[in-house]
Structure 1
Amino acid sequence: GGRCGGGEGGGSVVLPATHRGGIPNFFVLGQVDGLGVAYYDSTTLELSPTQDWMCQAVEPSYFRSKRQELLGYKEGFQRIMGRLLERYNQTGGVHTLQLRVGCSLRDDSPQAGVLQYAYDSQDFIGFDGQRGLWVAAVQPAVLSKRRWEADRPWCQFLQHYLQQECVKTLRSLVRHGRETLGRQLPPEVSVSCRDAPDGSVTLSCHARGFYPRPIHVSWVRDEEDILAETDSSGILPNADSTYYTQSSLEISLQQDGHRYACRVEHTSLPEPTLIWGKEGVPGKKGLLPPGVLVPLVLAMLAGAGAAVAGVIMWRRNRPGKGMEEDPWRQGWGGQSPGRGQGWGEEGGGSERSGGGQGLV
């Protein structure tokens, strides 16, 4: 982290506010392709870049002006949170309100933006930037939809923001952060096994330290894809801006004797193959380009026969079916719509947050 004279937030922006015993906590995280580039919280009241190139990607006045806007957003989130507690008839406990704002590019062409509220990890309401309308995900959001759509100038600003200003900022962030955003870090992959009391065995495939975020992990049995349900951790961030994921597969006693492989697909990987030998013993790996390392970890399973677990990894030229992927480019930023046009909730017409000046 650090400070600089200028900046424009990048990636999707997440603005969560937590209600804990009447004391809200508010923070903002700016990201480009899943990489954190800026951070703000209600404790320090400072908006700071987390990547050095942020300072070159934005105007010198950006961080100062956005800091003032975020003070207004915090107040607006507190009001929204209070009304949601009333709507859901909640009097205590920990509750979270999140706002995700983002835009994306594919081959430098703008794609549909996103502006989505969630309450307690469930979709609440979202903005359709193409039609300029709000879409309620749950019944308690219908009142918000009606009140917010009554403010047509604000809806028009949101459309302009998602389609123009956010995209302009994103292009600058991508240009200045090209070296960092374009890096390719291959996953370190291993397979482990764990015996269960009922005699079954759980295979776990671990992929660590990869970037960018999109990755696909699947299982193969005797050269064929396994379509059965598996248990996944999802794609989780590491402190060093890389990612981790784990996929587990439970094998019953009746399946002993088969050969199992974990297959990992990531843009950083070449296209090696793994050839299995006979009688449950792996054979030689296929020819690999120089410098490519394919981890192979064998897990000998208890039972009448021996099962083998290994790793198959290769590169996909483009994302394929089933690969979990962030948008090609996600961004946030843009110019303010004018004083007093922050993010608020309804109440006697269109209530605004007071100090906010547009989306972060």
Structure 2
Amino acid sequence: MASVLLSLLLLLGPAVPQETHTGPYSLSFFYTGLSRPRDGFPSFQATAYLNDQDFFHYDSEDRKAIPRYPWSQMEGIEDWEKESELQKAREDIFMVTLKDIMDYYKDKEGSHTFQGMFGCELQSNKSSGAFWRYAYDGRNFIEFNKEIPAWVPQDPAALNTKQKWEAEEVYVLRAKAYLEEECPAMLRGYLQYGKTYLDRQGTPLPVSYVLLPRSELRKKGDLRLAQGASG
């Protein structure tokens, strides 16, 4: 598991930074895993956003990162085959973590959910915010604090997750670098293609969000989480 996590972190390489002077602009990812998939709800799905605009969607049925309009019309904005492979790796880690939590609580009955979100924000070309947190069945589970840096458990089962994700110091350092350097660099790269479009859409939602309770999960392709205060 540790080697897989390291490989995943090493795939999160920075794009070439470019100058932008306005904003704010945000890049965010929202994941949901279900122990019992049902019609319209795959076992795993992920949606990426630039500001509050859908950027691409991935799920365990198609297993492809599919860009949304207008990003699908912008040649060269992303290597979608490489992005698909990255999302497959994230899916594997995500679903293993969900199983670990269920095993800890002996949650063998019913359907259970694991949600995650992470992202960053730029204002006048400078990083102005970042977050990375997870929830189990709508309850806060674990969150990354880049100032310590460390994964901070918010649930008894998260102590096991913390141990796995901090098995070696490099994992923590890579997570910190991703939020502070690599995510903003990717966002700057995407802005070279879509800044004009994002500017026309107006002011984006704040970079912080809350995870929805399990009962409020939406259908495939619409995973936007409720806006809220950062915790």
TM-score where L is the length of structure 2? 0.69
Kindly indicate whether the alpha-carbon contact (under 8 Å) linking 2:57 and 2:66 is maintained by their aligned counterparts in 1: yes
Which residue number corresponds to residue 89 of structure 1?
A: 106
Kindly indicate whether the alpha-carbon contact (under 8 Å) linking 1:126 and 1:137 is maintained by their aligned counterparts in 2: yes
Task: Name which of 55, 62, 67 aligns with 1:49.
Answer: 67
Does 1 or 2 have the higher relative contact order (CA < 8 Å, sep 6+)? 2
Which residue number corresponds to residue 13 of structure 1?
A: 29
- More strand by proportion, 1 or 2? 1
Distance across 2 between alignment mates of 1:123 and 1:144: 13
Distance across 1 between alignment mates of 2:159 and 2:228: 31
Inter-CA distance 32–91: structure 2 relative to 1 (3 Å threshold): same
Identical pairs, percent: 24
Inter-CA distance 326–181: structure 2 relative to 1 (3 Å threshold): farther
Kindly indicate whether the alpha-carbon contact (under 8 Å) linking 2:97 and 2:161 is maintained by their aligned counterparts in 1: no
Kindly indicate whether the alpha-carbon contact (under 8 Å) linking 1:21 and 1:92 is maintained by their aligned counterparts in 2: no
Matched residue SS, 1:159? helix
Inter-CA distance 325–116: structure 2 relative to 1 (3 Å threshold): closer
TM-score where L is the length of structure 1? 0.46
Inter-CA distance 75–44: structure 2 relative to 1 (3 Å threshold): same
Q: For residue 180 of structure 2, what is the amino acid of its counterpart?
A: Q
Which string of whole-angstrom CA distances, capped at 9 and with x for unpartnered residues, describes residues 259-284 of structure 1? xxxxxxxxxxxxxxxxxxxxxxxxxx
Which structure has the bigger radius of gyration?
Answer: 1
What's the offset of the Cα at 1:21?
Answer: 6.9
Matched residue SS, 1:45? coil
Distance across 1 between alignment mates of 2:163 and 2:70: 42
Task: Name which of 77, 80, 103 aligns with 2:97.
Answer: 80
What's the offset of the Cα at 1:326?
Answer: 8.9
Kindly indicate whether the alpha-carbon contact (under 8 Å) linking 1:29 and 1:38 is maintained by their aligned counterparts in 2: yes
Q: Which runs of 5+ in 1 are unaligned?
A: 1-7, 186-210, 215-236, 244-323, 328-360
What are the equivalent positions in structure 2 for 1:335-346 lying under 5 Å apart?
none
Is 1:35 the equivalent of 2:48?
Answer: no
Q: Which runs of 5+ in 2 are unaligned?
A: 1-14, 16-25, 207-217
Which residue number corresponds to residue 137 of structure 2?
A: 120
Inter-CA distance 100–135: structure 2 relative to 1 (3 Å threshold): same
Which string of whole-angstrom CA distances, capped at 9 and with x for unpartnered residues, describes residues 78-110 of structure 1? 221111112122112121111111011122211
Inter-CA distance 41–136: structure 2 relative to 1 (3 Å threshold): same
Q: For residue 141 of structure 1, what is the amino acid of its counterpart?
A: A
What's the offset of the Cα at 1:325?
Answer: 7.6
Which residue number corresponds to residue 108 of structure 1?
A: 125
Inter-CA distance 15–111: structure 2 relative to 1 (3 Å threshold): same
Q: Which runs of at least 4 in structure 1 moved beyond 3 Å after TM superposition?
A: 21-24, 53-57, 211-214, 324-327
Q: CA RMSD in A?
A: 3.2
Q: For residue 58 of structure 1, what is the amino acid of its counterpart?
A: I
Inter-CA distance 172–44: structure 2 relative to 1 (3 Å threshold): same
Kindly indicate whether the alpha-carbon contact (under 8 Å) linking 1:118 and 1:125 is maintained by their aligned counterparts in 2: yes
Kindly indicate whether the alpha-carbon contact (under 8 Å) linking 2:44 and 2:91 is maintained by their aligned counterparts in 1: yes
Q: For residue 57 of structure 2, what is the amino acid of its counterpart?
A: Y
What are the equivalent positions in structure 2 for 1:270-289 lying under 5 Å apart?
none
Which string of whole-angstrom CA distances, capped at 9 and with x for unpartnered residues, describes residues 39-97 of structure 1? 111111111110334634634xx211121222222222222111111212211212111
What's the offset of the Cα at 1:24?
Answer: 6.4
User: What number of residue pairs does the alignment pair up?
Assistant: 187
What are the equivalent positions in structure 2 for 1:190-201 lying under 5 Å apart?
none
Q: For residue 52 of structure 2, what is the amino acid of its counterpart?
A: G
- More helix by proportion, 1 or 2? 2
Distance across 2 between alignment mates of 1:325 and 1:66: 28
Distance across 1 between alignment mates of 2:195 and 2:112: 37
Matched residue SS, 2:106? coil
Matched residue SS, 2:35? strand
What are the equivalent positions in structure 2 for 1:201-212 lying under 5 Å apart?
212=204
Kindly indicate whether the alpha-carbon contact (under 8 Å) linking 1:26 and 1:74 is maintained by their aligned counterparts in 2: yes
